[in-house]
């Protein structure tokens, strides 16, 4: 069985039927990582021995009719912001402690408790503070969609996006503060979800800006995203945002389609930052959804997308500077100079500025709730551009947050799904819903996936 681009759900079904063992599956996964990762740079470290041991344990459970569920025995990876027991969390930086952690992050542990097999940790932008996906302090993952020109993967969950897109793993965990799951999902052509704050615990995850940080899955199918989100939910004693939050059924309504749903989108003038080819794909997708029975509405945004993006960036900078200032300011700092420069903007922002940002955010949330009234979901492209050549891009301002930060600022949920290629490079559609309406975002995404006969397109060279 060539399982490289098979979904996690279908791998689970194959394991249940006895078509393959978890040991064979994980052996093939590790071999594929060894074959391709030298050129892709997706992984920080790979856990060959422990992964194979866990796979054998999964096979034993299944032989005794003690399987932990559909995902038991299926491999996954986690961004190197997640603690993994027995390993250091480097956060993509030379400046972090190399201390071994004693306990895995809540999200990692929840997947392990479902019997999933952790095969390694993936590269991230240093401290998750950047959206091109580059990292001179560690390694920059290479977008697998262009066989000729090395291109940016999108960040900060860069390695996770590349690993899923290149068929190294079917599932990877990422984090999203202003688009860090959705941007690499869009640029690499996979599915990435910004979950509702409080739905998935962040215990054991290296923070950037705790006000906005979330944990989200990256997959190649909508069903997989729904299954992983179902597994990740629940209270986390290290994350008060999860206290009292009920679990949501992410699977039951997945096949209900979009007929009768009101899907709103901004005026095309609001999306002026997008490349023409992306807008062509966006209009085509709106037409498809309309033909599928959705009610498509255009409504100009209350404010420019750049306004929401700028406020989110300022608030993130204040938090990042407050957290990482000692590492940036220490003599002979090992923090990458460009990351240090970005963070140092926080030194010019005081408590009064931050309180003003919070008040602006409150007013914008009230205003945007009025804009959202009467609609089930809000649609816009995930990224204004396709993946650009890697050479020389690290120090260039990245435009991705213009389209993604709105969801973080407003405490909304959002999923990015492949929208169609422009000049053989992926683009993403962003489906934004109200907080805790994550199952609805998945439902809309799944409807398009069924209508098109699939969303993910495997890269040619992998």
Helix 438-452 and helix 222-232, axial crossing angle in degrees, nearest 10: 160
Among this protein's residues, is 310 annotated catalytic?
Answer: no
- pLDDT value of position 214: 98
Among this protein's residues, is 416 annotated catalytic?
Answer: no
Among 7, 22, 58, 79, the one annotated catalytic: 79
28: cis peptide before it, omega within 30°?
A: no
* Cα–Cα–Cα angle for 139, 194, 251, rounded to 5 degrees: 120
- Across the range 45-51, mean pLDDT stands at 98
**Which strands sit side by side in the sheet containing 425-433, from one edge to the other?**
43-46, 117-122, 75-79, 171-176, 214-219, 191-194, 413-422, 425-433, 377-381, 262-265, 295-298
pLDDT at 454 over 80: yes
Predicted confidence (pLDDT) per residue in 124-143, tens digit = 999 999 999 999 999 999 99
Give residues with Cβ within 8 angstroms of 378, minimum separation 6: 263, 264, 265, 372, 412, 431, 432, 433
- pLDDT value of position 123: 98
Three-state DSSP class for 88?
A: strand
Predicted confidence (pLDDT) per residue in 176-196, tens digit = 999 999 999 999 999 999 999
Token output for 376: 């089930």
Task: Please count the other Cβ atoms lying within 10 Å of the Cβ belonging to residue 291.
Answer: 10
Token output for 113: 């408790």
- pLDDT value of position 450: 98
Residues 110, 77 contacting (CB under 8 angstroms): no
Predicted confidence (pLDDT) per residue in 198-249, tens digit = 999 999 999 999 999 999 999 999 999 999 999 999 999 999 999 999 999 9
Give residues with Cβ within 8 angstroms of 40, minimum separation 6: 141, 142, 144, 162, 163, 166, 168
Q: What's the whole-model pTM score?
A: 0.98
Predicted confidence (pLDDT) per residue in 80-123, tens digit = 999 999 999 999 999 999 999 999 999 999 999 999 999 999 99
Could you tell me which of 373, 451, 380 has the C-alpha nearest to residue 414? 380
- pLDDT value of position 3: 82
Alpha-carbon span 458 to 170, nearest angstrom:
12
Burial of 244 (0-12, 13-18, 19+ CB in 10 A): exposed
Among 67, 93, 131, 180, the one annotated catalytic: 180
- pLDDT value of position 438: 98
Predicted confidence (pLDDT) per residue in 287-344, tens digit = 999 999 999 999 999 999 999 999 999 999 999 999 999 999 999 999 999 999 999 9
Q: Which domains are seen in the chain, by residue range?
A: 8-264+376-452 (3.90.1300.10)
Alpha-carbon span 134 to 419, nearest angstrom:
24
Alpha-carbon span 124 to 109, nearest angstrom:
20
Token output for 397: 């301002």
Round the average pLDDT of the chain to a whole number and report it.
97
Length in residues, the chain? 462
Could you tell me which of 173, 163, 25, 186 has the C-alpha nearest to residue 462? 163
Q: Which 8-state DSSP code applies to residue 389?
A: B
Could you tell me which of 91, 158, 95, 133 has the C-alpha nearest to residue 340? 95
Among 22, 67, 156, 414, the one annotated catalytic: 156
Alpha-carbon span 304 to 309, nearest angstrom:
9
pLDDT at 1 over 60: no
Burial 430-452 (b: 16+ CB within 10 A, else e): bbbbbebbbbbbbbbbbbbbeee
Predicted confidence (pLDDT) per residue in 369-424, tens digit = 999 999 999 999 999 999 999 999 998 999 999 999 999 999 999 999 999 999 99
- pLDDT value of position 2: 66
Among this protein's residues, is 180 annotated catalytic?
Answer: yes
- Across the range 169-175, mean pLDDT stands at 98
Within 18-73, residue ranges assigned H as helices are: 22-40, 48-63
* Cα–Cα–Cα angle for 259, 263, 264, rounded to 5 degrees: 160
First-to-final CA distance of the chain: 16
- pLDDT value of position 374: 98
Alpha-carbon span 78 to 165, nearest angstrom:
14
Helix 8-17 and helix 48-63, axial crossing angle in degrees, nearest 10: 50
């Amino acid at each position: 069985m060539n399982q490289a681009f098979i979904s996690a759900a279908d791998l689970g079904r194959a394991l249940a039927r006895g078509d393959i063992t978890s040991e064979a599956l994980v052996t093939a996964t590790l071999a594929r990582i060894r074959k391709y990762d030298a050129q892709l740079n997706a992984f920080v470290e790979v856990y060959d021995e422990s992964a194979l041991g866990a796979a054998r344990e999964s096979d034993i459970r299944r032989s005794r009719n003690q399987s932990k569920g559909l995902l038991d025995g299926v491999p996954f990876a986690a961004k190197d912001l997640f603690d993994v027991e027995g390993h250091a969390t480097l956060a993509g930086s030379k400046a972090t402690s190399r201390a071994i952690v004693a306990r895995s992050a809540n999200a990692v542990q929840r997947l392990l408790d479902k019997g999933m097999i952790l095969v390694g940790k993936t590269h991230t932008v240093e401290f998750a503070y950047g959206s091109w996906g580059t990292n001179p302090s560690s390694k920059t993952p290479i977008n697998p969609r262009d066989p000729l020109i090395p291109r940016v993967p999108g960040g900060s969950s860069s390695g996770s996006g590349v690993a899923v897109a290149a068929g190294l793993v079917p599932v990877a965990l990422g984090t999203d503060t202003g688009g860090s799951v959705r941007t690499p999902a869009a640029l690499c052509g996979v599915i990435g979800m910004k979950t509702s704050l409080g739905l998935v615990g962040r215990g054991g995850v290296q923070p950037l800006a705790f006000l906005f940080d979330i944990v989200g899955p990256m997959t190649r199918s909508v069903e997989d995203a729904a299954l992983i989100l179902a597994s990740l939910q629940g209270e986390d004693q290290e994350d008060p945002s999860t206290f009292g939050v009920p679990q949501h059924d992410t699977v039951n309504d997945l096949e209900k389609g979009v007929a009768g749903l009101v899907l709103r989108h901004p005026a095309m003038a609001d999306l002026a930052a997008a490349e023409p080819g992306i807008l062509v794909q966006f209009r085509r997708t709106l037409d498809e959804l309309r033909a599928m029975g959705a009610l498509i509405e255009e409504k100009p945004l209350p404010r420019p997308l750049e306004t929401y993006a700028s406020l989110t960036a300022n608030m993130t900078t204040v938090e990042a500077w407050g957290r990482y200032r000692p590492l940036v300011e220490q003599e002979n700092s090992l923090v990458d100079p460009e990351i240090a420069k970005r963070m140092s903007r926080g030194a010019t922002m005081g408590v009064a500025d931050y309180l003003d940002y919070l008040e602006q955010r409150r007013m914008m949330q009230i205003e945007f709730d009025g804009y959202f009234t009467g609609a089930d979901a809000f649609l816009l492209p995930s990224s204004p551009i396709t993946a650009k050549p890697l050479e020389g891009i690290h120090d260039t301002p990245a435009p991705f947050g213009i389209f993604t930060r709105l969801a973080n600022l407003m405490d909304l949920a959002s999923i990015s799904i492949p929208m169609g290629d422009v000049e053989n490079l992926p683009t993403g559609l962003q489906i934004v819903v109200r907080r805790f309406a994550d199952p609805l975002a998945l439902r809309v995404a799944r409807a398009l996936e069924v209508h098109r006969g699939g969303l993910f397109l495997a890269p040619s060279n992998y």
